[in-house]
Structure 1
Amino acid sequence: MPVSRSVLARWPPEASYSSTWSRTHSHVLGSYSPSRGMAARYAPPCRRAAVTAVTPCRGDPLLSAVSTTPSRVSDTHRPTGEDHMKGTMPTRRRRGWRAAAGVIVAGIVAASCGGDDSGSGGDTGTTADEQAISSTTLASDVEEVTTGGTVVVGLEADANTFLPGAGSTNTNVARAVFDSIAVRGADGEIHPHLAESIEANEGSTEWTVTLRDGITFHDGTPLDAEAVKRNFDEYLNTETSTVAGSITHVQEVRVDGPLTYTYVLSEPDAAFPDLLTGTIGYPFSNEACAAAGQDCGSQPVGAGPFRFVSWQRDSEIRLERNPDYWRTDANGVQLPYLDELIFRPIPDESSRIASVQSGDIQVGHTFRQSFVRQTEELEAEGEIQSLEGLGNNGGGGIFNVLVPPVDDVRVRQALVHATEQEDLIEVLGGAGITPPQTQFFSPNSPWYSAAVEEAYPAFDPARAEELLDEYINDPERSDGKAVGEPVSIRFQCPPDPSLLLLSQTVQAFWNGVGVEVELEQVEQPTLITNALGSADQDPPFSGTYMITCFRMGADQDPYTTLAPAFGPVATSSANVANYTSDNLDEQLQVLQTSSDFEERYAAVESMMMELAEQVPLMWAGGTATSLFATEDVRNLGGWTAGDGAQGDGVTGAVVYWAEVWRER
């Protein structure tokens, strides 16, 4: 059963959504090129209307802001039978992709396409391609699974640690070594995974978790309530933890029994279970970590389907099958299916794709638009398989608002006004496919705001020059330069060819309005370190950059996404921009405590409006993902939750590895 009393936002339309900034903080601005079929089915943005049952816009299944579990949702917020509809699987599959698909529970948010706001309009027809996407058949249901074998995975970048909360991990590796307390299903609900149940009290100030019995970590120690409490007290809830900013409202983790514990909160948090799907929900062995000491982060011991063997930094991460894994498939076959997983950092996009083509590796991923397009073309030629997706995730630049001159809003506004976003989309390979981005949510998301789109600075070089003139002639200008001297800025980005072209395009735009621009080419791991900063900085986690290219956004509940992204600078490394305000804090409080969609929508819109006006971020279009593989790798998206529910496929090119197998 789904988690009780959850008001988590659910937004999985036909294209998959990737979770980046709020979860791994490890992705640089990438490019995006969804499949031609996705482009062909693009529908106009939906307009918000009354809160009633709806018919969706074409290709736009809506989400529910309220749990649909009748026995556990209060009468005030329980949807009726009319509030449900079926949609398509969030991840696009082509050429008979052998992965899971599922149904999307739609919600109580009304919308309309084009015409009136009655909520009854829209084309509900289904193409043959869409019918294929909507299939609920798993590969393991129609083909005999082959157990054993090795899969080698090419990664965009290595991690700097595998200790949850200690730094920038790699989510694909983490999903193999660790299992999470909860996961998001294809129905959009949060489902217990390592947990047997997750329940809230009446005020959502206490969330009680009961763990499944008999689960052990890779070192044989039990996964119990005491282990989770120690994880929280000794590692996650510390000044140096990268997730500390997300859990400031957790007063304690109270052990109620051998397998039962409670998160006691200082204030209501209706979306709390969403946190348990990520880093905060990855239990690990305290005994193993204590024994490893400083090496704990390089020798992870979790409760996931694969256990750690070795890690040669920037070369190879080797994992082996966990023979004591707690799960079997529907036919009673012990999971995981594979004997071994090997992860190799291959930063060069072309090399990663070529390695899959040659069979040197079996799986790779890309977030770059031109390369997503390339994997699509290779799939059409029968050379590889590709699982593509697009979601609430965009590329762009982040301004470090603690560093002059971009600490001044006039300079930030000027730089955005000076930049033609359509041109950035074009140089990244997304022309004609990616609409411009103005906020954290895509035009088809129920959290999207047309008012924010209107408020975001449009391409206007004349206005940019006015703002810059005002700044440079200000005797109290923040950069300490003499009146009249030009603004000088630094822009960091990796040396990937597409990102180099992006950097040069941005430089040309900014040079055009009189700004001196120094381009800093840094490898992705360095960029991540520069952006996140460290605990020993003053203030902590303030970063060592001025402007950085980055990917921003996530497909979780808005609170889960936005709270770490704009949390206190000293405790939230995910606040890469170092931007906070009283209004953002106030609206985050609404998102944290309210279960009313209209209230939450107003809070999101207020936050997005402030960001559009203060521009700590500059958008450069959406970001699609491609998870590509050799033909013999099966079921990359066909995973299930611990309670048997269908998983939400491949979001952000992240795989749940337990049910992946290789045909031999």
Structure 2
Amino acid sequence: MVLRPALSRRPAGSGRRRRRRGLPAVAAAVVLALTAVGCGGGSGDSGKDSSAAPIREGGKISIPLPVESRGLDPFVASYTATADGSRMSALYDFLVTLDPNTGEVRPRIAESLKPDAGGKLWTLKVRPGVAFTDGTPYDAAAVKANWEAHADPAMKSLRRGLVAGVTTEVAGPLELRITLATPNLSFDRTVAYGLSFIASPTAFRADPAGFGAKPVGAGPFKLKEWVRGDHQTMVRNPTYWQQGLPHLDQVTFKTIADNQQILNTIATGQADLTVTSDGQVQAQAENKNLKADTAQVDGGQFLLFNLKRAPFDDPRARRAVALAMDAGAMTKMLFNGEIKPAHGLFRENSALIDPSVPQQPAPDQAEAQRLFDELAAEGKPVNFGFLTQQHPTARKAAEYVQGRINQYRNAHMEIEAVEIGAYITKGLVNRDFQVQGYGMWQADPDPAFDTLLRSTSSSNYGGYASPAADRALDAARAAGTPEARRQAYTDLVREIGKDLPVWVWQEATTTTVYRPQVTAVKLANEGQLEMDQIGLTG
């Protein structure tokens, strides 16, 4: 997809000229999920202004989120909507974004991102006149430095897999030539997904160890204060590249682990806005005279099996667990039926797959017990640990799985609940798990599903390796028509349904919940707020 220069328009009530941008959309490089479970329908369109009321300049808002930041640099931060996605948007802005409703890639700080005919060579042109808050030019060299840092194994970047085999050449101050290892006509989606937040190379090189606590970007806000475990205060960037933006003077991101408490805090006026994947919060928001806008995305909450460790190195163990579970019963018990159960990684109404092909097996308790018994007879009972976060909703989901599995003979599950930093280190860095609770919210399957499922991906945390799945992923990237792309992803889900590297129990939806006084709320990618746009009315 080719990016075109942004147009100019005059927003209602602002009295200032600003550039038009589309809703971006593909999630952060690794979607660390698991904190806000739930999904559901939507009451709004994330691609439109949340209100036609005039925006007043200035003011402060508070945004509670359930996850504390591990760090605010582009390498270790979680880009998910319920974690650091909006914090990163505030500090760094985006190179490009992807509209979660249309699938269109659109420019931000990038002026254009174009492929050659085959999709192996791409050219990125950076918008002129942009600088980081320390005065360093935001140019092609800055983008190159960041992408090379992602590729450095010593960085342990969560986005390392996205730049594997990618080489870059600075062709001019604002032009970067990009060569991919293999043709990929969806590389612009990869950039939107996980390579769009660019840090000041000057500041990062000066203090790489401390940069995550003292970030320097080119976004609409800059960090003023960070009280660990409580809040981060960000103030308006006076040198922001878009004249007249942001509207707000200050944004405070609060850490509140419980989704219900977040909702009550907004309903009572102690906070203003949140982003959630919890369908119960969305349903209750409308009963509390709050607004709610939703973006439809793929992915969801799922069990991620480690195929490199027993018992799930045996496909029968994975199938037994999948057959023992029931997504409909699980969502009904956990959330009173207020969220939608999943059928697989692609949402039920996805146009990207053939709906007649099942993504995962239907529940079958008798067959599950037969498989458990068969494995036990071979000396391989399905006893395993479940790695999850300490977040109340994630723990509640794990307890449901435990109760379901422990009803069977020759199967037993224990829960290991840890704080998010330990979860990332244990599950994603060290791969020290048997099964873990995981989640993804993606406006487009590429590159998120590619990084999760490709055999050679450094972000393939479960160790899944299937030549047929790899071929389907290759075909999706090479597809020149929607029909060819649909066939490729249908072939992929056919393999996933057979191999079961994951079992998905909840469909993905990202929702913004906010007070009526908040306006111009827009979602980028899978649910990152466009922080420059948000304002207050009255």
Q: Secondary structure at the match of 1:590?
A: helix
Matched, 1:362 2:272: yes
Q: Deviations over 1:171-221 (max 9, x none)?
A: 110011112221224653212211222222222211111111111011111
- 182-191 or 626-635: which moved more? 182-191
Matched, 1:241 2:157: yes
Shift of 1:406: 1.7
Q: Name the CA shift for 1:498/1:325 in 2 (closer, same or farther; >3 Å).
A: closer
Q: Deviations over 1:34-80 (max 9, x none)?
A: 35xx6xxxxxxxxxxxxxxxxxxxxxxxxxxxxxxxxxxxxxxxxxx
Q: Secondary structure at the match of 1:394?
A: strand
Shift of 1:295: 0.5
Aligned partners of 2:25 and 2:192 also within 8 Å: no
- 650-659 or 305-314: which moved more? 650-659
Task: Please give the alpha-carbon distance, in whole angstroms, between the structure 2 residues aligned to 1:521 and 1:590.
Answer: 38
Q: Deviations over 1:113-140 (max 9, x none)?
A: xxxxxxxxxxxxxxxxxxxxxxxx774x
Shift of 1:300: 1.4
**Alignment partner of 2:449 out of 562, 579, 582:** 562
Alignment-derived partner of residue 366 in structure 2: 462
Task: Please give the alpha-carbon distance, in whole angstroms, between the structure 1 residues aligned to 2:394 and 2:173.
Answer: 51
TM-score normalised by L of structure 2? 0.88
Alignment-derived partner of residue 487 in structure 1: 382
**Count of residue correspondences:** 513
Task: Please give the alpha-carbon distance, in whole angstroms, between the structure 2 residues aligned to 1:184 and 1:235.
Answer: 21
Q: Name the CA shift for 1:196/1:248 in 2 (closer, same or farther; >3 Å).
A: same
Q: Name the CA shift for 1:248/1:174 in 2 (closer, same or farther; >3 Å).
A: same
TM-score normalised by L of structure 1? 0.72
Give the counterpart letter for 1:274 in structure 2.
R
Q: Name the CA shift for 1:198/1:627 in 2 (closer, same or farther; >3 Å).
A: same
Shift of 1:650: 5.6
Q: Secondary structure at the match of 2:128?
A: coil
**Alignment partner of 2:179 out of 260, 264, 278:** 264
1:133-532 equivalences under 5 Å are 139=51, 142-169=52-79, 170-185=84-99, 187-238=102-153, 240-250=156-166, 252-328=167-243, 334-378=244-288, 382=289, 384-429=290-335, 431=337, 434=340, 436-453=341-358, 456-474=360-378, 477=380, 486-514=381-409, 515-532=411-428
Q: Secondary structure at the match of 2:528?
A: coil
- Percent identical: 24
Matched, 1:572 2:458: yes
Q: Name the CA shift for 1:601/1:404 in 2 (closer, same or farther; >3 Å).
A: same
Q: Deviations over 1:214-237 (max 9, x none)?
A: 110111111111221222223445
Q: Name the CA shift for 1:407/1:218 in 2 (closer, same or farther; >3 Å).
A: same
Shift of 1:260: 0.9
Aligned partners of 1:368 and 1:428 also within 8 Å: no
Aligned partners of 1:307 and 1:322 also within 8 Å: yes
Aligned partners of 1:356 and 1:629 also within 8 Å: yes
Which consecutive unaligned segments of at least 5 residues does structure 2 have? 5-22
**Alignment partner of 1:34 out of 27, 32, 40:** 40
Q: Deviations over 1:444-468 (max 9, x none)?
A: 1112333432x62221111112212
Q: Deviations over 1:420-450 (max 9, x none)?
A: 221111023262762x423221121112333
Alignment-derived partner of residue 79 in structure 1: none
Q: Deviations over 1:462-520 (max 9, x none)?
A: 11122122212225x4xxxxxxxx43111233455554443333223212221112122
Q: Name the CA shift for 1:187/1:100 in 2 (closer, same or farther; >3 Å).
A: closer
Q: Secondary structure at the match of 1:278?
A: helix
Task: Please give the alpha-carbon distance, in whole angstroms, between the structure 1 residues aligned to 2:184 and 2:524.
Answer: 27
Q: Name the CA shift for 1:336/1:506 in 2 (closer, same or farther; >3 Å).
A: same
Task: Please give the alpha-carbon distance, in whole angstroms, between the structure 2 residues aligned to 1:197 and 1:303.
Answer: 18
Aligned partners of 2:147 and 2:163 also within 8 Å: no
Matched, 1:633 2:538: no
Q: Name the CA shift for 1:218/1:377 in 2 (closer, same or farther; >3 Å).
A: same
Q: Name the CA shift for 1:190/1:430 in 2 (closer, same or farther; >3 Å).
A: farther
Q: Name the CA shift for 1:19/1:27 in 2 (closer, same or farther; >3 Å).
A: farther
Task: Please give the alpha-carbon distance, in whole angstroms, between the structure 2 residues aligned to 1:34 and 1:167.
Answer: 26
Shift of 1:367: 1.8
Q: Secondary structure at the match of 1:465?
A: helix
Shift of 1:2: 5.1
Aligned partners of 2:283 and 2:338 also within 8 Å: no
Task: Please give the alpha-carbon distance, in whole angstroms, between the structure 2 residues aligned to 1:285 and 1:29.
Answer: 30
4+ residue segments displaced more than 6 Å: none
Shift of 1:593: 2.4
Shift of 1:412: 0.8
1:19-98 equivalences under 5 Å are 20=27, 23-28=29-34, 30-32=36-38, 34=40, 92=44
Give the counterpart letter for 2:3 in structure 1.
V
Task: Please give the alpha-carbon distance, in whole angstroms, between the structure 2 residues aligned to 1:368 and 1:525.
Answer: 22
Aligned partners of 1:205 and 1:267 also within 8 Å: yes
Shift of 1:528: 3.7
Matched, 1:581 2:473: no
Matched, 1:655 2:529: yes
Task: Please give the alpha-carbon distance, in whole angstroms, between the structure 1 residues aligned to 2:322 and 2:286.
Answer: 32
Alignment-derived partner of residue 8 in structure 2: none
Give the counterpart letter for 2:383 in structure 1.
S
Alignment-derived partner of residue 435 in structure 2: 547
Q: Secondary structure at the match of 2:212?
A: helix
Task: Please give the alpha-carbon distance, in whole angstroms, between the structure 1 residues aligned to 2:447 and 2:533.
Answer: 27
1:120-139 equivalences under 5 Å are 139=51
Q: Name the CA shift for 1:532/1:348 in 2 (closer, same or farther; >3 Å).
A: same
Aligned partners of 1:190 and 1:273 also within 8 Å: yes
Task: Please give the alpha-carbon distance, in whole angstroms, between the structure 2 residues aligned to 1:450 and 1:466.
Answer: 29
Structure showing greater Rg: 1
Aligned partners of 1:376 and 1:386 also within 8 Å: yes
Task: Please give the alpha-carbon distance, in whole angstroms, between the structure 2 residues aligned to 1:23 and 1:236.
Answer: 13
Task: Please give the alpha-carbon distance, in whole angstroms, between the structure 2 residues aligned to 1:461 and 1:337.
Answer: 56
Which consecutive unaligned segments of at least 5 residues does structure 1 have? 5-15, 39-90, 94-98, 102-136, 329-333, 478-485, 538-542, 638-648
Q: Name the CA shift for 1:376/1:588 in 2 (closer, same or farther; >3 Å).
A: same
Task: Please give the alpha-carbon distance, in whole angstroms, between the structure 2 residues aligned to 1:235 and 1:494.
Answer: 26
Task: Please give the alpha-carbon distance, in whole angstroms, between the structure 2 residues aligned to 1:393 and 1:30.
Answer: 14
Q: Name the CA shift for 1:166/1:499 in 2 (closer, same or farther; >3 Å).
A: closer
- 386-395 or 284-293: which moved more? 386-395
Q: What is the aligned-residue RMSD (CA, Å)?
A: 2.6
Aligned partners of 2:452 and 2:461 also within 8 Å: yes
